[in-house]
Structure 1
Amino acid sequence: MPDYLPFDPYPRAPVPLPPPLTCDSQFHVFGPREQYPVRPNAAYEMPTATWQVAQELHATLGIERGVIVQATTYGADHTVVLDALEGLNAGGPRRYMACANAAVLTERDDAYLQKLHDAGVRGARFTRGGLGISLTAAEQERAFARVKELGWYVKVQPEPNGMAEQLSTFESLDVPVLLDHMGRADPTRGDADPSLVRILELFERGNFWVMLSLSEKISKAGAPWDDVVPLAQRLIDAAPDRCVWGSDWPHPVSVKQPPNEGALMELLYRFAPDATTQQKILVDNPARFFGFETP
């Protein structure tokens, strides 16, 4: 298993700080390994990135809400996420929720799914093929049915070359669907990129949303990722009420040094320069999609 690079240990606060109740709509937690062993044949393992470190990061960034996304590293065993939710939500209202890996819908029973739901899990992520978890057509249909029964959303991780070819599997769903990482559209292709074309088409259906994230890997130009700005703005212009933002901390499967989190949040400000749109993407949209309680 190759070694991947850890997150920047010295995050800086963005300038300015984001609005109150800003949500990091995708981050992960890993380890420690002796407490949370990786599943057999896991495609990757990351350096330890605990919920306590994530909590400190969010405090630095001015983030008050978050959504933990289960990594394929742990498969259907969601202990690391359950423990993180308990720790992050201790002593107050629920400000952290989570998204399961879709494997749990085929490998675990209803009681386990109810345990996840009670803890704050509200969605299931269907991960890209190269990460070692795949469902048969029958398993996928059963997974979709269980998502609907639970009142959850579907989350789709794009393949490295974009998600255009994946979307036929999900386009007929009548549950909320969140498309990760701007579909991994190629920013050099503009409106001709097939993944962007399909996302813009699916926006017309009303139940498709997009995650503004993974800019550092989508970019062909490198920091400060200028080439990604028009792509993000195209998505925001098309559906400003259905875009959310995620850090993707600690940046799994990074072969280049992950960026500073403060710089990534400032990139979001470049995507959406006006305060009204920032409020939608960082606060209002995630509150509505994930179901955070309004104070």
Structure 2
Amino acid sequence: MPDYYPFDPEPRRPVRLPPPKSCDSQFHVLGDPAVYPTRPGAAYHMPSATWERARHVHAQLGIERGIIVQTTTYGADHRVVLDGLKALGPNYKGCANALVFGERDDAYLEELDAAGINGARFSFRAALGAVLDDAAFDRAVGKLTDLGWYMKVQPEQTGIAGSLDRLRDLTLPVLIDHMGRVDAAKGEDDPSFRALLDLLDKGNFWVMLSLGEKISKTGAPFDDVVPLARKLIVHAPDRVVWATDWPHPVSKQQPPNDADLLELLYRYAPEEADLTRILVDNPAKLFGFA
């Protein structure tokens, strides 16, 4: 596995706390490999990124809800997410890895559903080794529909534009991660940014404001990402959510303090009404919080 940087171990308090019931729409939990064996060929592992550490991050940030997203590290074995959900309680839900549809049976899917998992993440990043072929993708979409789950999409490193053929005809709720991995240097002229706006126009697509620190070409304080995020908020204000992406897997540079990322969101959404939609109302609707 390649070298990468760990998360900041000392999350600070943000300049101001977010609204009550704010949600971190994507974070991962990992653990002791003796308890949670890694999938052969996994791109990364970070056993220190436990649910206990995640809970501490959220407590510092003032985050009260969250979505544990199964990492490609464990593939179809969701024990770490199930244990995390039991420990963190009803303010947390889970998102499966799409490999589960090809490797586990319906009884296992029902177990995940009963535990509070109601979506599945599909990776289009070939480097992570967890990409479904076309036939498996189509079967998985059918399973999602039967379960009433949403689809979550991790775009290719080069952006979402290259995956449109798989996405444009979908009718179930679809959440596009990491702002579609737009090229901040190209700004609104980037084909992936234009493709993302077109998908949002369909009405069943959502976008997650995350990974701004990696999308940015200029580095901290990530000024080049701010206008793109603001454009997405204006374009689909009721279908935008936000996430830390903690513990920031496969980071080639030291990840920012997680409070920096929350404060970056405050720059994306300076109006309190927009911030409340992004952190509270929209995730409650998509993920099914009361």
Q: Which category describes the TM-score, using the shorter chain as reference length?
A: over 0.9
The one-letter amino acid paired with 2:184 is P
Residue 262 (structure 1) aligns with: 259
Residue 151 (structure 1) aligns with: 148
Note if 1:86 corresponds to 2:86: yes
Q: Which runs of 5+ in 2 are unaligned?
A: none
Q: Which runs of 5+ in 1 are unaligned?
A: none
CA RMSD in angstroms comes to: 0.8
1:190 aligned residue (187, 205, 214): 187
Residue 111 (structure 1) aligns with: 107
Note if 1:276 corresponds to 2:282: no
1:286 aligned residue (283, 286, 289): 283
> Whole-Å Cα distance in 1 between the matches of residues 3 and 201 of structure 2?
41
> Whole-Å Cα distance in 2 between the matches of residues 95 and 164 of structure 1?
34
1:95 aligned residue (83, 91, 105): 91
| SS of corresponding position for 2:186 | helix
> Whole-Å Cα distance in 2 between the matches of residues 34 and 23 of structure 1?
31
> Whole-Å Cα distance in 2 between the matches of residues 232 and 11 of structure 1?
24
Note if 1:122 corresponds to 2:132: no
Residue 33 (structure 2) aligns with: 33
What aligned pairs does 1:201-212 form with structure 2 within 5 A after superposition?
Answer: 201-212=198-209
The Cα of 1:7 is off from its aligned counterpart by 0.3
Residue 42 (structure 2) aligns with: 42
CA contact (8 A) 2:160 2:196 kept: no
Deviations 1:228-284 (A, max 9, x none): 001101101100110000000000001110100011000000000010000000000
After TM superposition, the runs of 4+ consecutive aligned structure 1 residues lying more than 2 A away are none
> Whole-Å Cα distance in 1 between the matches of residues 132 and 158 of structure 2?
20
CA contact (8 A) 1:33 1:48 kept: no
| SS of corresponding position for 2:96 | strand
1:161 aligned residue (158, 163, 180): 158
Residue 69 (structure 1) aligns with: 69
> Whole-Å Cα distance in 2 between the matches of residues 171 and 130 of structure 1?
23
The Cα of 1:216 is off from its aligned counterpart by 0.8
Q: Percent same amino acid among aligned pairs?
A: 61
TM-score, normalised to structure 1, is 0.96
CA contact (8 A) 1:190 1:231 kept: yes
| SS of corresponding position for 1:188 | coil
CA contact (8 A) 1:66 1:95 kept: yes
- How many pairs are equivalent? 289
The Cα of 1:47 is off from its aligned counterpart by 4.5
The one-letter amino acid paired with 1:283 is V
The Cα of 1:167 is off from its aligned counterpart by 2.1
CA contact (8 A) 1:5 1:47 kept: no
Note if 1:135 corresponds to 2:132: yes
Deviations 1:17-38 (A, max 9, x none): 0000000000001112221110
> Whole-Å Cα distance in 1 between the matches of residues 122 and 130 of structure 2?
9
Residue 20 (structure 1) aligns with: 20
> Whole-Å Cα distance in 2 between the matches of residues 62 and 129 of structure 1?
35
| SS of corresponding position for 1:154 | strand
TM-score, normalised to structure 2, is 0.98
> Whole-Å Cα distance in 1 between the matches of residues 94 and 253 of structure 2?
27
| SS of corresponding position for 1:87 | helix
> Whole-Å Cα distance in 2 between the matches of residues 43 and 27 of structure 1?
17
The Cα of 1:61 is off from its aligned counterpart by 0.4
> Whole-Å Cα distance in 1 between the matches of residues 2 and 162 of structure 2?
28
The Cα of 1:190 is off from its aligned counterpart by 2.1
The one-letter amino acid paired with 1:228 is V
